Amino acid sequence: MKVIAFNGSPRKKWNTATLLNKALEGAAAQGAETELIHLYDLNFKGCVSCFSCKTRGGKSYGKCAVKDDLTTILAQVEEEAGAIILGSPIYLGTASGEMRSFMERLIFPYLTYTDPPQSLFPKKINTGFIYTMNVTEEQKELFGQHFIFNEMLMGLIFGSTETLFSFDTYQFEDYSKVVADRFDPEQKAQRRNDVFPKDCEKAFDMGTRLAKQ
Ligand SMILES: Cc1cc2nc3c(=O)[nH]c(=O)nc-3n(C[C@H](O)[C@H](O)[C@H](O)COP(=O)(O)O)c2cc1C
Protein backbone atom coordinates (compact mmCIF):
# COMPACT_ATOMS: atom_id res chain seq x y z
CA MET A 1 0.00 0.00 0.00
CA LYS A 2 1.32 3.42 -0.94
CA VAL A 3 0.17 6.46 1.03
CA ILE A 4 0.76 9.89 -0.47
CA ALA A 5 0.38 13.11 1.54
CA PHE A 6 0.07 16.58 0.03
CA ASN A 7 1.22 19.65 1.92
CA GLY A 8 -0.84 22.72 1.07
CA SER A 9 1.27 25.03 3.25
CA PRO A 10 4.24 26.92 1.83
CA ARG A 11 6.06 26.05 5.07
CA LYS A 12 7.76 22.67 4.98
CA LYS A 13 8.41 22.25 8.69
CA TRP A 14 5.49 23.90 10.41
CA ASN A 15 2.12 22.79 11.68
CA THR A 16 0.58 21.23 8.57
CA ALA A 17 3.77 19.50 7.42
CA THR A 18 4.43 18.20 10.94
CA LEU A 19 0.98 16.62 11.16
CA LEU A 20 1.26 15.15 7.67
CA ASN A 21 4.62 13.63 8.57
CA LYS A 22 3.08 12.13 11.71
CA ALA A 23 0.24 10.66 9.65
CA LEU A 24 2.80 9.15 7.28
CA GLU A 25 4.72 7.73 10.25
CA GLY A 26 1.49 6.02 11.32
CA ALA A 27 1.01 4.65 7.81
CA ALA A 28 4.64 3.48 7.65
CA ALA A 29 4.17 1.69 10.98
CA GLN A 30 1.54 -0.39 9.17
CA GLY A 31 4.09 -1.24 6.48
CA ALA A 32 2.96 1.35 3.94
CA GLU A 33 5.31 3.03 1.51
CA THR A 34 4.92 6.78 2.05
CA GLU A 35 5.61 10.01 0.21
CA LEU A 36 5.10 13.66 1.14
CA ILE A 37 4.61 16.08 -1.74
CA HIS A 38 4.90 19.82 -1.12
CA LEU A 39 2.45 21.50 -3.48
CA TYR A 40 4.37 24.78 -3.32
CA ASP A 41 7.37 23.06 -4.96
CA LEU A 42 5.30 22.26 -8.03
CA ASN A 43 4.52 24.29 -11.09
CA PHE A 44 0.80 23.92 -11.74
CA LYS A 45 -2.45 25.79 -12.09
CA GLY A 46 -5.99 25.02 -11.03
CA CYS A 47 -8.64 23.77 -13.45
CA VAL A 48 -8.61 25.73 -16.73
CA SER A 49 -12.19 24.76 -17.58
CA CYS A 50 -11.28 22.99 -20.84
CA PHE A 51 -13.84 20.20 -20.13
CA SER A 52 -11.65 17.55 -21.83
CA CYS A 53 -12.40 15.42 -18.77
CA LYS A 54 -16.12 15.69 -19.54
CA THR A 55 -16.03 15.39 -23.36
CA ARG A 56 -18.16 12.49 -24.60
CA GLY A 57 -15.90 9.84 -26.14
CA GLY A 58 -12.84 12.06 -25.65
CA LYS A 59 -9.46 10.52 -24.91
CA SER A 60 -9.21 12.48 -21.67
CA TYR A 61 -12.68 11.59 -20.42
CA GLY A 62 -12.42 11.23 -16.63
CA LYS A 63 -8.84 12.50 -16.63
CA CYS A 64 -7.21 15.91 -16.43
CA ALA A 65 -5.80 16.86 -19.85
CA VAL A 66 -3.63 19.72 -18.59
CA LYS A 67 0.08 18.97 -18.84
CA ASP A 68 2.21 20.33 -16.01
CA ASP A 69 3.86 19.14 -12.80
CA LEU A 70 0.60 17.60 -11.60
CA THR A 71 0.25 15.30 -14.60
CA THR A 72 2.43 12.47 -13.29
CA ILE A 73 1.25 13.01 -9.73
CA LEU A 74 -2.42 12.66 -10.65
CA ALA A 75 -1.56 9.46 -12.56
CA GLN A 76 0.32 8.21 -9.49
CA VAL A 77 -2.75 8.81 -7.31
CA GLU A 78 -4.92 6.82 -9.72
CA GLU A 79 -2.48 3.98 -10.35
CA GLU A 80 -0.45 3.59 -7.17
CA ALA A 81 -2.05 5.22 -4.13
CA GLY A 82 -3.94 3.11 -1.63
CA ALA A 83 -4.58 6.23 0.43
CA ILE A 84 -4.06 9.97 0.13
CA ILE A 85 -3.91 12.64 2.80
CA LEU A 86 -4.46 16.31 2.04
CA GLY A 87 -3.14 18.83 4.54
CA SER A 88 -3.73 22.55 4.47
CA PRO A 89 -3.65 25.64 6.63
CA ILE A 90 -6.83 27.69 6.59
CA TYR A 91 -6.22 30.84 4.59
CA LEU A 92 -9.01 33.40 4.74
CA GLY A 93 -11.57 30.80 5.68
CA THR A 94 -10.74 28.02 3.21
CA ALA A 95 -7.88 25.67 2.37
CA SER A 96 -4.88 27.50 0.86
CA GLY A 97 -4.98 28.61 -2.78
CA GLU A 98 -2.46 25.90 -3.79
CA MET A 99 -4.57 23.24 -2.12
CA ARG A 100 -7.75 24.54 -3.73
CA SER A 101 -6.04 24.48 -7.16
CA PHE A 102 -4.81 20.97 -6.49
CA MET A 103 -8.28 19.81 -5.45
CA GLU A 104 -9.81 21.22 -8.62
CA ARG A 105 -7.41 19.13 -10.68
CA LEU A 106 -7.66 16.06 -8.43
CA ILE A 107 -11.43 15.92 -7.97
CA PHE A 108 -13.19 17.62 -10.87
CA PRO A 109 -12.15 15.16 -13.65
CA TYR A 110 -13.72 12.30 -11.69
CA LEU A 111 -16.92 14.14 -10.76
CA THR A 112 -19.67 13.52 -13.29
CA TYR A 113 -22.31 16.08 -14.16
CA THR A 114 -24.98 13.42 -13.79
CA ASP A 115 -27.93 13.49 -11.46
CA PRO A 116 -26.97 12.31 -8.89
CA PRO A 117 -23.27 13.05 -9.39
CA GLN A 118 -21.02 9.99 -9.60
CA SER A 119 -17.33 9.17 -9.42
CA LEU A 120 -15.16 8.07 -12.35
CA PHE A 121 -12.24 7.27 -10.04
CA PRO A 122 -11.57 3.62 -10.89
CA LYS A 123 -11.27 2.22 -7.36
CA LYS A 124 -11.96 2.95 -3.70
CA ILE A 125 -9.13 4.39 -1.62
CA ASN A 126 -8.90 5.80 1.89
CA THR A 127 -8.53 9.55 2.21
CA GLY A 128 -7.94 12.02 5.00
CA PHE A 129 -7.87 15.79 5.32
CA ILE A 130 -5.83 17.65 7.94
CA TYR A 131 -6.59 21.33 8.53
CA THR A 132 -4.54 23.65 10.71
CA MET A 133 -5.74 27.10 11.72
CA ASN A 134 -5.50 29.97 14.15
CA VAL A 135 -9.09 29.90 15.30
CA THR A 136 -10.27 27.88 18.26
CA GLU A 137 -12.57 24.89 18.00
CA GLU A 138 -15.51 27.08 19.07
CA GLN A 139 -14.83 29.51 16.22
CA LYS A 140 -14.53 26.79 13.58
CA GLU A 141 -18.23 27.02 12.70
CA LEU A 142 -17.29 30.13 10.73
CA PHE A 143 -15.74 27.82 8.12
CA GLY A 144 -18.05 24.85 8.76
CA GLN A 145 -19.61 24.58 5.32
CA HIS A 146 -16.21 24.45 3.68
CA PHE A 147 -15.15 21.42 5.73
CA ILE A 148 -18.46 19.62 5.21
CA PHE A 149 -18.40 20.23 1.47
CA ASN A 150 -14.82 18.92 1.13
CA GLU A 151 -15.73 15.81 3.14
CA MET A 152 -18.69 15.21 0.86
CA LEU A 153 -16.54 15.54 -2.27
CA MET A 154 -13.73 13.32 -1.02
CA GLY A 155 -16.19 10.67 0.14
CA LEU A 156 -18.09 10.74 -3.14
CA ILE A 157 -15.01 10.54 -5.36
CA PHE A 158 -12.72 8.21 -3.43
CA GLY A 159 -15.07 6.17 -1.27
CA SER A 160 -14.21 7.23 2.26
CA THR A 161 -12.70 10.14 4.10
CA GLU A 162 -11.91 11.42 7.55
CA THR A 163 -10.98 14.87 8.84
CA LEU A 164 -8.58 16.07 11.51
CA PHE A 165 -8.50 19.65 12.82
CA SER A 166 -5.62 21.31 14.60
CA PHE A 167 -6.85 24.56 16.16
CA ASP A 168 -5.17 27.62 17.61
CA THR A 169 -1.80 26.75 16.08
CA TYR A 170 1.50 28.44 16.80
CA GLN A 171 2.03 30.71 13.82
CA PHE A 172 5.18 32.81 14.20
CA GLU A 173 8.78 32.06 15.09
CA ASP A 174 8.78 35.10 17.39
CA TYR A 175 5.47 36.73 18.32
CA SER A 176 7.25 39.88 19.57
CA LYS A 177 8.38 40.67 16.01
CA VAL A 178 4.93 40.80 14.44
CA VAL A 179 1.93 43.04 14.95
CA ALA A 180 -0.53 40.48 16.22
CA ASP A 181 -2.02 41.81 19.45
CA ARG A 182 -4.97 39.49 19.11
CA PHE A 183 -2.79 36.58 20.21
CA ASP A 184 -1.31 35.91 23.61
CA PRO A 185 2.17 34.48 22.89
CA GLU A 186 2.28 32.63 26.22
CA GLN A 187 -1.07 31.00 25.65
CA LYS A 188 0.00 30.07 22.12
CA ALA A 189 3.28 28.57 23.37
CA GLN A 190 1.47 26.64 26.06
CA ARG A 191 -0.99 25.25 23.56
CA ARG A 192 1.84 24.27 21.25
CA ASN A 193 3.39 22.34 24.15
CA ASP A 194 0.20 20.83 25.58
CA VAL A 195 -2.25 20.34 22.72
CA PHE A 196 -0.24 20.15 19.50
CA PRO A 197 1.50 16.90 20.56
CA LYS A 198 -1.97 15.39 21.02
CA ASP A 199 -2.90 16.54 17.52
CA CYS A 200 0.27 14.79 16.33
CA GLU A 201 -0.89 11.57 18.01
CA LYS A 202 -4.27 11.91 16.32
CA ALA A 203 -2.50 12.38 12.97
CA PHE A 204 -0.39 9.28 13.60
CA ASP A 205 -3.57 7.29 14.37
CA MET A 206 -5.21 8.65 11.23
CA GLY A 207 -2.25 7.44 9.16
CA THR A 208 -2.52 4.03 10.82
CA ARG A 209 -6.20 3.74 9.90
CA LEU A 210 -5.77 5.00 6.35
CA ALA A 211 -3.01 2.50 5.65
CA LYS A 212 -5.35 -0.39 6.43
CA GLN A 213 -7.00 -1.82 3.37
C1 LIG B 1 -2.53 34.17 4.27
C2 LIG B 1 -2.98 33.58 5.58
C3 LIG B 1 -4.32 33.58 5.88
C4 LIG B 1 -4.78 32.97 7.06
N5 LIG B 1 -6.13 32.95 7.31
C6 LIG B 1 -6.59 32.30 8.40
C7 LIG B 1 -7.99 32.19 8.64
O8 LIG B 1 -8.83 32.66 7.87
N9 LIG B 1 -8.40 31.55 9.75
C10 LIG B 1 -7.51 30.98 10.62
O11 LIG B 1 -7.95 30.38 11.60
N12 LIG B 1 -6.17 31.05 10.42
C13 LIG B 1 -5.69 31.69 9.33
N14 LIG B 1 -4.34 31.76 9.10
C15 LIG B 1 -3.42 31.06 10.04
C16 LIG B 1 -3.00 29.67 9.54
O17 LIG B 1 -4.10 28.92 9.07
C18 LIG B 1 -2.35 28.87 10.66
O19 LIG B 1 -1.32 29.59 11.26
C20 LIG B 1 -1.84 27.54 10.12
O21 LIG B 1 -1.64 26.62 11.17
C22 LIG B 1 -0.52 27.71 9.36
O23 LIG B 1 -0.09 26.46 8.86
P24 LIG B 1 1.46 26.14 8.72
O25 LIG B 1 2.08 26.36 10.07
O26 LIG B 1 1.51 24.72 8.31
O27 LIG B 1 2.01 27.03 7.67
C28 LIG B 1 -3.85 32.39 7.96
C29 LIG B 1 -2.47 32.44 7.65
C30 LIG B 1 -2.04 33.04 6.48
C31 LIG B 1 -0.55 33.08 6.17
Of the chain, the percentage scoring pLDDT greater than 70 comes to 100
Cα(175) to ligand 1 centroid in Å equals 15
Mean pLDDT of 1-30: 98
Confidence of residue 6 (pLDDT cuts 50, 70, 90): very high
Please write the tens of the pLDDT for every residue from 56-98.
999 999 999 999 999 999 999 999 999 999 999 999 999 999 9
Cα(119) to ligand 1 centroid in Å equals 31
Mean pLDDT of 50-56: 98
- Ligand 1 pocket, residues with Cβ under 6 angstroms: 9, 11, 14-17, 89-93, 132-135, 169, 171
Confidence of residue 213 (pLDDT cuts 50, 70, 90): confident
Which pLDDT score, from 0 to 100, does residue 24 have?
A: 98
Which pLDDT score, from 0 to 100, does residue 142 have?
A: 85
Which pLDDT score, from 0 to 100, does residue 48 have?
A: 98
Cβ–Cβ under 8 Å, residues 124 and 83: no
Please write the tens of the pLDDT for every residue from 127-166.
999 999 999 999 988 888 999 999 999 999 999 999 999 9
Which pLDDT score, from 0 to 100, does residue 36 have?
A: 98
Atom of ligand 1 nearest to the CA of 11: 27
Cα(10) to ligand 1 centroid in Å equals 11
Alpha carbon nearest to ligand 1 atom 18, residue: 133
Alpha carbon nearest to ligand 1 atom 4, residue: 91
- 65 in the Ramachandran plot: left (φ > 0), alpha (ψ -120 to 50) or beta? alpha
Alpha carbon nearest to ligand 1 atom 6, residue: 91
Atom of ligand 1 nearest to the CA of 14: 25
Which pLDDT score, from 0 to 100, does residue 140 have?
A: 87
Atom of ligand 1 nearest to the CA of 93: 8
Please write the tens of the pLDDT for every residue from 174-191.
999 999 999 999 999 999
* Angstrom distance (rounded) from CA 150 to CA 8: 14
Q: What angle do CA 28, 30, 33 make, to 5 degrees?
A: 40
For the range 91-100, what are the long-range contacts, defined as Cβ-Cβ under 8 Å and sequence gap of 24 or more?
A: 93/142, 93/143, 93/146, 94/143, 94/146, 95/8, 95/131, 95/146, 95/150, 96/8, 96/9, 96/10, 98/8, 98/10, 98/39, 98/40, 99/6, 99/8, 99/39, 100/46
Q: Which one of 9, 38, 92 would you pick to mutate in the ligand 1 pocket, going by the greatest count of ligand atoms within 8 A of its CB?
A: 92
Confidence of residue 171 (pLDDT cuts 50, 70, 90): very high
Alpha carbon nearest to ligand 1 atom 1, residue: 91
